[in-house]
Amino acid sequence: MKVLLVHNQYRTAAPSGEDAAVRDEKRMLEKRGVQVFTFDRCNDDIDLSSFVARTAVVANTIWSQRSRADLRRVIQTVRPDVVHVHNTFAMLSPSVYGACKAEGVRVVQTLHNFRFFCPAALFLRDGKPCEECVERSLLQSVRHRCYRNSAGATATLAAMLGLHRAIGTYANHIDRYIAPSEFARSKAIKGGILEHKLVVKPNFVPDPPPPGRGGGGYAVYVGRLLEGKGADILIAAWRSMPSIRLMVVGDGALRPQLEAMARRERMNIEFVGTQQRVAVLKAIADAELLIMPSVCYETFGLAVAEAFACGTPVLASRIGSLDELVKEGVTGRKFIAGDPQDLAKVARIMLADEVALHRMRLHARAYFEANLTEEQNFYQLMKIYADVIGAGPQAMINRG
Note whether 49 and 191 are same-domain residues.
yes
- Phi and psi dihedrals of 270, rounded to 5? -120, 120
Look at residue 137 and tell me if it is in a domain.
yes
168's CB contacts (< 8 A; 6+ apart) are none
Cα gap 281→187, rounded to integer Å = 31
Closest CA to 359 of 322, 323, 311: 311
Note whether 195 and 260 are same-domain residues.
no
Note whether 365 and 378 are same-domain residues.
no
Cα gap 283→174, rounded to integer Å = 40
pLDDT at 398 over 80: no
pLDDT-derived band at 117, boundaries 50, 70, 90: very high
**pTM score:** 0.93
pLDDT at 32 over 80: yes
Note whether 249 and 167 are same-domain residues.
no
Cα gap 282→215, rounded to integer Å = 12
Cα gap 91→173, rounded to integer Å = 19
The CATH number of the domain holding residue 244 is: 3.40.50.2000
pLDDT at 335 over 50: yes
Note whether 181 and 244 are same-domain residues.
no
Cα gap 12→285, rounded to integer Å = 27
Mean pLDDT, the chain, whole residue set: 95
Size of the chain in residues? 400
Confidence at residue 400, expressed as pLDDT on a 0 to 100 scale: 46
User: What would you report as the CA-atom Rg of the chain, rounded to the nearest whole angstrom?
Assistant: 22
Confidence at residue 392, expressed as pLDDT on a 0 to 100 scale: 60
Cα gap 341→385, rounded to integer Å = 46
Cα gap 171→13, rounded to integer Å = 34
Q: Which domain holds residue 77?
A: 2-205+374-398
Look at residue 182 and tell me if it is in a domain.
yes
Confidence at residue 12, expressed as pLDDT on a 0 to 100 scale: 82
Look at residue 297 and tell me if it is in a domain.
yes
Note whether 42 and 187 are same-domain residues.
yes
Note whether 136 and 250 are same-domain residues.
no
Note whether 90 and 223 are same-domain residues.
no
Q: What is the number of domains present in the chain?
A: 2
CA–chain centroid gap for 153, Å, is 22
Q: Which tens digit of pLDDT belongs to each residue from 83-109?
A: 999 999 989 999 999 999 999 999 999
Residue 251 is classified by DSSP as: -
Q: Which tens digit of pLDDT belongs to each residue from 169-194?
A: 999 999 999 999 999 999 999 999 99
